[in-house]
């Protein structure tokens, strides 16, 4: 396979990028919410729906066998992609949210008791807050929160004080969906592990913008969604260390997750099937495998350099606008920028930019506590993907200045 | 003027704009120039929360008519609100209940009233209609 080494070649694989919105060429800068899909992913999904639709793991017939192969093949691809040690450490879910709920419910249900704590940070997405709150309500445990500073950095000085023996799990984002900074997760993982506390990383943004090696990170759980990683919607991955996944109970019951079933007692299947009750989104998971295969065909050096270029250009342009404040500044910045402009409501800006063909996110971005931390009721977010270009950044910056002028 | 006449007047005002940009500039002007609500009207119970922007709506019933004041923290939303209030405020509950708001479509702003935009405008119109219902049952 030819290795993709430049952005124009890369863009040709994404039909959605080539369209007009409101009469203007689309500039898609809402990749943090969901990414566009390469044609090979949509093709595979279509081919499976049209000719390879047989339920996996359940039958001896040819269609079932071939679907199963694609599904289990995707598991192998994902394992290699994040360098998990065993293939059964890869659980397919419907997304990061489902994966988080699985861990909160199963791990939390087993290990959390009254007086225990879950440590998160102030910069978490609602899906890394609410599932824990729900299990806390059930068990009598509570949430502890590591603060972030004005630049969006974790307050590492208060980590040791928070990591007391009541903490049963640390659940934090690899990269925040608002701040766009690669967090010092290695440091947190080693500090937690010294005290025997497992660490979950919400990798919804992290897996897209960094090369993840779960063995090197030594995290206990790593979670991500397929649709932000150029795969189909409704897919996701829960990576968990084998011994932990084996020690916690299943979350949902149903077909394919059992060993034997009698009315008196049911024994469960081994991992990963223990956590994949019912017919999974096997076509979606195969599509995610295809997205990963596509990503393996892009030069890593190109990706790194290109993202850095886009990031630098965005920082330079945004900081030149009067009254604009970027949330999340410093080392390890990915091309994801949440910002506000003095005296201008983010919704107004987003509406005007939409008319100029630019897709951005505005609002609270599922991180209300973080909005409150910065005294904002909403922000604007431009999140770029590998297929965005320097020309698009120029057009975005020009349009943003024009919109700000209209509104002030 | 009847509701229909006010709507027609607004459509005529917008007909001079050929570009979307001019339309939005006009909305921004409307949003900026109109003090819509007293600070005391910005009570929590008058707040209609959208994910994107907030809208406050206050209603007063006088001599068979409902008088609305409203505000938003987003200026374009506020501009659209000022159009809606021109149509709705000072009307009888029956007039409000009968208004179909087709003029929004005619001036090309219907996107802003779509439930997917989450800007609170749709919820505000629902609330206006709800007030009309509540006050008309009071009459009886």
Question: Residue A100 corresponds to which tokens in the numbers above?
Answer: 């988080």
Structure confidence by residue, pLDDT tens digits, A186-221: 999 999 999 999 999 999 999 999 999 999 999 999
pLDDT the model gives residue B117: 66
Q: Which of B44, B51, B115, B116 is catalytic?
A: B51
Q: Select from A51, A72, A73, A54 the least CA-distant residue to A63.
A: A54
Residues of B with CB below 8 A from A362's CB?
52
Question: Which pLDDT band holds residue B111 (cuts at 50, 70, 90)?
Answer: confident
Structure confidence by residue, pLDDT tens digits, A82-115: 999 999 999 999 999 999 999 999 999 999 999 9
Q: Please give the Cα distance from A352 to A396 (Å, whole number).
A: 12
CA-based nearest distance A350→chain B, Å? 10
Interface A:B, Cβ pairs < 8 A: 41
Q: Please give the Cα distance from A408 to A317 (Å, whole number).
A: 19
Q: Which residues of A touch B (CB under 8 A)?
A: 22, 345-348, 350-352, 355, 362-364, 377-378, 406-407
Tokens 């509950």 — which residue? B93
Taken in order A187, A188, A189, A190, the sign of the CA dihedral is: positive
- Tell me the backbone φ, ψ of residue A387, rounded to 5 degrees: -90, 0
User: Catalytic residue positions of A?
Assistant: 366
Strands A324-327 and A336-341: antiparallel
pLDDT the model gives residue B50: 64
Q: Which domains does chain A have, with CATH numbers?
A: 7-30+299-407 (3.90.1150.10), 43-296 (3.40.640.10)
Alpha-carbon distance values, A163 to A141, A168, A176, A241 (Å): 15, 9, 21, 21
Out of A347, A355, A378, whose CB is closest to B24?
A355
Q: What is the DSSP string of B49-81?
A: E-SS-EEEEEEEEETTEEEEEEEESSHHHHHHH
pLDDT the model gives residue B20: 86
CATH number of B3-139: 3.90.1010.10
Most confident segment among A42-51, B17-26, B27-36: A42-51
ipTM, 2 dp: 0.83
Q: Do B51 and A364 touch (CB under 8 A)?
A: yes
The answer to whether the CB of A118 falls within 8 A of the CB of A108 is yes
Residues of B with CB below 8 A from A351's CB?
24, 76, 112
Q: Please give the Cα distance from A257 to A271 (Å, whole number).
A: 9
Residues B18, B114, B38: CA angle, nearest 5 degrees? 85
Domain segments of chain B: what residues?
A: 3-139
Q: Select from B11, B124, B92, B80 the least CA-distant residue to A351.
A: B80
What is the mean predicted confidence (pLDDT) over B47-64?
Answer: 83
Torsion of CA A287, A290, A295, A298, to 10 degrees: -140
């Amino acid at each position: 396979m030819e290795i993709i080494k430049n952005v124009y070649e890369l863009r040709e694989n994404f039909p959605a990028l080539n369209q007009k919105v409101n009469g203007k060429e689309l500039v898609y800068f809402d990749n943090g919410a969901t990414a566009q899909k390469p044609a090979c992913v949509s093709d595979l999904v279509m081919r499976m729906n049209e000719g390879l639709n047989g339920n996996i793991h359940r039958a001896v017939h040819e269609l079932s066998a071939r679907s199963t192969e694609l599904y289990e093949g995707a598991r192998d691809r994902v394992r290699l992609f994040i360098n998990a040690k065993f293939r059964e450490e890869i659980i397919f879910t419907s997304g990061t949210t489902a994966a988080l709920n699985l861990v909160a419910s199963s791990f939390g249900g087993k290990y959390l008791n009254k007086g225990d704590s879950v440590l998160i940070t102030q910069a978490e997405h609602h899906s890394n807050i609410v599932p824990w709150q729900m299990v806390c309500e059930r068990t009598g445990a509570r949430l502890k929160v590591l603060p972030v500073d004005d630049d969006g950095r974790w307050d590492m000085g208060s980590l040791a004080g928070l990591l007391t023996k009541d903490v049963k799990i640390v659940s934090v984002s690899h990269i925040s969906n608002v701040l766009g900074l690669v967090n010092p997760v290695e440091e947190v993982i080693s500090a937690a592990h010294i005290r025997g506390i497992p660490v979950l990383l919400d990798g919804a943004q992290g897996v897209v913008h960094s090369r993840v090696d779960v063995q090197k990170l030594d995290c206990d759980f790593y979670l991500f969604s397929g649709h932000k990683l150029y795969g189909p919607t409704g897919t996701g991955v829960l990576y968990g260390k084998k011994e932990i996944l084996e020690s916690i109970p299943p979350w949902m019951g149903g077909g394919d997750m059992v060993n034997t079933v009698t009315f008196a007692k049911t024994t469960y299947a081994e991992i990963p099937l223990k956590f994949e009750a019912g017919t999974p989104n096997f076509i979606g998971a195969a599509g995610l495998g295809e997205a990963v295969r596509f990503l393996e065909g892009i030069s890593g050096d190109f990706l790194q350099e290109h993202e850095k270029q886009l990031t630098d250009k965005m920082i330079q342009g945004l900081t030149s606008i009067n009254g604009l404040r970027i949330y999340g500044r410093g080392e390890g910045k990915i091309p994801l920028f949440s910002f506000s402009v003095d005296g201008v409501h983010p919704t107004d800006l987003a509406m005007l930019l939409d008319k100029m063909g630019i897709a951005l996110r505005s609002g609270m971005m599922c991180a209300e506590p973080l909005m409150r931390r910065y005294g904002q009721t909403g922000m604007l977010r431009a999140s770029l993907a590998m297929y965005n270009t320097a020309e698009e950044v120029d057009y975005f910056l020009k349009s943003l200045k024009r919109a700000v002028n209209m509104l002030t | 003027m009847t509701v229909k006449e006010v709507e027609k007047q607004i459509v005529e005002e917008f007909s001079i704009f050929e570009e979307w940009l001019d339309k939005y500039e006009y909305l921004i002007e409307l949003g900026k120039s109109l003090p819509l609500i007293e600070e005391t009207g910005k009570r929590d119970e008058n707040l209609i929360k959208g994910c994107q922007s907030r809208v406050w709506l206050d209603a007063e019933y006088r001599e068979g008519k409902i008088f609305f004041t409203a505000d938003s923290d987003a200026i374009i939303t506020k501009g659209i609100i000022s159009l809606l209030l021109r149509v709705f405020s000072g009307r009888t509950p029956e007039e409000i209940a009968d208004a179909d708001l087709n003029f929004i479509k005619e001036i090309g702003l219907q996107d802003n009233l779509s439930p997917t935009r989450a800007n609170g405008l749709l919820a505000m119109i629902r609330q206006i209609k709800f007030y009309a219902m509540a006050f008309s049952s009071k009459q009886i």
